[in-house]
Chains A and B, each alone.
Chain A
Amino acid sequence: MSVSRDTILGIVLLLVLLMLPYAALEAGKPFYVTLATRMAILALAAVGLNIALGLGGLVSFGHAAFFGVGGYAAGILASHAFAGQPLDFGFLSVPGTKTMPVIWLVAIAVGGLLAAAIGAISLRTSGVYFIMITLAFAQMTYYFAVSWPAYGGEDGLSITLRNGFPGVNTLVPINFFLIAWGLLAAALVLFAVLRNSRFGAALQAARQNEVRVATIGIEPYRIRLAAFALSGMVTALAGALYADLNRFVSPSMLSWHMSGELIVLAILGGVGRLAGPVAGAMLFVLFEFLLGGLTERWQFFLGLVLLGVVLFARGGVVGLIAGRPRHD
């Protein structure tokens, strides 16, 4: 079995991303470590979206909901741990925590549950309905976060001190980068395994021809729901990391604009490709940083570039480098 160019490109990009902060430290520019961390976290979120969007063909315009919920999971648990007050659910009370792995598990669980609930309703429809409904449900979580004052409402919630990881000082930027990078690498492995599994084959087949898949006895709805939930989990995990990176979580993480940016990340690189989200996130953050330094109006130019990519460079950046996929 030969290794595809897409896979090789994915590995190369991961290694480049890994070397970036070390080069930055070497050059005496520690700020760039944060930039690289941002790339890794956004790439992780886009890998999550890529499961639904790339493999399943489910155009979710509501992934900010999962991203933000992951962020709020981190923020809420940390704020309770900091205040020393347990979370009170009425019938049981749970202590807050400042331990990342625990926060991640909670974020993944909450993100998965929310995605399962939203998916269960949205997946009854398809096409434009699906796009609009996922967008509407994400907007619902946004308005809930804005109108619920217990955790900051519109102002958001600060994380006083970045959460900890057993045995690692997460306050050192490079350590936190390595954590994010490690999770990104793990997610990419998960994506690759998933894509080549029976489940992944069924999911991609359902994207290409729903009727045929149903005829051979596979129910597309259940496969898609599982993929959507899994996709939400990965994106929620990224959200928890993102909150820790900024030490702040606010409703803007849940906004439609975030959902749009996640789609841009996934598409800019090349949809359904292993390397796509990594390339997309690296380009996006670089673009934001370089153009943002030149002009306040960088989003105007982002729009133009994006328009150009959609109209003239189908298949994204990875498509340009790795060629068209063979079986699509």
Chain B
Amino acid sequence: MQTALFIEQMLNGLQLGVMLFLMAAGLTLIFGVMGLINLAHGSLYMVGAFACAAVAGATGSFWLGLAASLAAAAAAGAVVEILVIRRLYERDHLDQVLATFALILIFSEGTRWLYGSFPLYLDIPPLLQGTVALPGGSRYQLYRLAVIGVGVTVAVGLYLLITRTRLGMRIRAGESDREMIGALGVDIRTLYTVVFALGAALAGLAGAMVGALQSVQVGMGEPALILAFVVIVIGGIGSIKGALVGAVIVGVVDTMGRFLLPQLFGLMMPPSQAGLVGGALASMLIYIVMAVVLALKPQGLFPAAKG
């Protein structure tokens, strides 16, 4: 039974990891291309979740909701980029932090205004409601496996987009020399809006998929945002590969820490105390991992070409 539980927890960790990757990929892309730190990325995640819950609630179709989440988050991202973010590229990080913090307040209160303070619930679509047998005899939720599948597909898609397409070429060029590609006739303003909307759509997709596992509520974005920060700090800011590795590390370490640490301390102390110490330590584990990574490699595991 222990092995089955272990496999189940590993899969949960992986599922958390791919969700974090969707958040972190957008953040790191936006930082890599535009040099912008975006605290409001968590708000776009929330927008995606709310759009999915609202449309799924109205039409009864999760899939329409999922499409709506992508569209709503990308649209919100594009609007925010054109109205606000565009003015921040030339500013220092402090202004960016402050302005995007203001955006969080506006998004959070605005959403509360529209939907109230009560959480919305999103059902898992019928197609994915079953469970799958795992080696060891236990069963695992099909939906979570599907989430992992989507995350892996997006990772591959993103890789292909960036390495094989014209848009990807422009993104890479924007990362290494933004003035030069402007001089070569690429419309850099549009490129930035597209990149921002792409990152927003990924965050919205993550929000919608997580929305079916947890409740959809105001304030759901910021814990995810902070975990995504830990991910890209570990992986190296600006690196998509780093975001993927960092996300899997954070997802697995966090989940396994919560699962294993109380048991580990249980070998040394009475169970009640072990649960306490193990639980408290597990809640800090990923930050400790981050501190260790930084102590060894201050630029993260996969430092991007420019800091």
Contacts and interface: CB of A to CB of B under 8 A. Distances in A.
Nearest to B108: A299
Contact of A267 (B98, B108, B110, B113): B98
Interface in B185-237: 222, 226, 229-230, 232-233, 237
Nearest to B278: A147
B87 A128 contact: no
B295 interface: yes
B84 A307 contact: yes
A256 B105 CA distance: 12
B32 to A, nearest CB: 11
A300 B113 CA distance: 9
Given A128-B93, A303-B102, A121 B237 contact: no
Given A124-B298, A297-B112, A132 B233 contact: yes
B280 A307 contact: no
Nearest to B292: A121
B103 interface: yes
**B contact patch SS:** helix
B280 A297 contact: no
A121 B291 contact: yes
A149 interface: yes
B145 interface: no
Contacts of A300: 105-106, 109-110, 113
A223 interface: no
A148 interface: yes
A289 interface: no
B98 A310 contact: yes
Interface string A284-297: 00000000000001
A139 B286 CA distance: 11
Interface in B79-119: 84, 87, 93-95, 97-99, 101-106, 108-110, 112-113
Interface string B6-45: 0000000000000000000000000100000101000000
B93 A144 contact: no
Contacts of B232: 132
Nearest to B113: A297
B54 interface: no
B237 A147 contact: no
Interface in A132-182: 132-133, 135-137, 139-140, 143-144, 146-149
Contact of B280 (A53, A124, A148, A314): A148
Contacts of B142: none
B131 interface: no
Contacts of A302: 102, 105
Interface residues of A, number: 41
A137 B105 contact: no
Nearest to B117: A296
Nearest to B222: A256
Contacts of B294: 121, 124-125, 133
A136 B233 contact: yes
Given A127-B93, A135-B226, A144 B283 contact: yes
B287 interface: yes
**A contact patch SS:** helix
B218 to A, nearest CB: 11
Best-buried of B102, B230, B290 by chain A (most CB within 10 Å): B102
Contacts of A135: 226, 229
Given A121-B291, A124-B298, A133-B233, A303 B284 contact: no
A297 B97 CA distance: 22
A310 B91 CA distance: 10
A148 to B, nearest CB: 5
B105 A306 contact: yes
B109 A297 contact: yes
Interface in B102-147: 102-106, 108-110, 112-113
B298 to A, nearest CB: 5
B158 interface: no
B167 interface: no
A311 B105 contact: no
Nearest to A122: B294
Contacts of A139: 226, 287
Interface of A: 53, 59, 61, 121, 124-125, 127-129, 131-133, 135-137, 139-140, 143-144, 146-149, 256-257, 260, 263-264, 267, 271, 297, 299-300, 302-304, 306-307, 310-311, 314
Given A139-B226, A306-B105, 5 more contacts: A135-B229, A260-B101, A267-B98, A307-B102, A314-B95
24 contacts: A59-B94, A121-B294, A124-B295, A128-B37, A128-B93, A128-B237, A135-B226, A135-B229, A140-B287, A140-B288, A144-B283, A147-B279, A147-B283, A149-B276, A260-B101, A263-B94, A263-B101, A264-B101, A271-B94, A303-B103, A306-B105, A307-B103, A307-B106, A310-B102
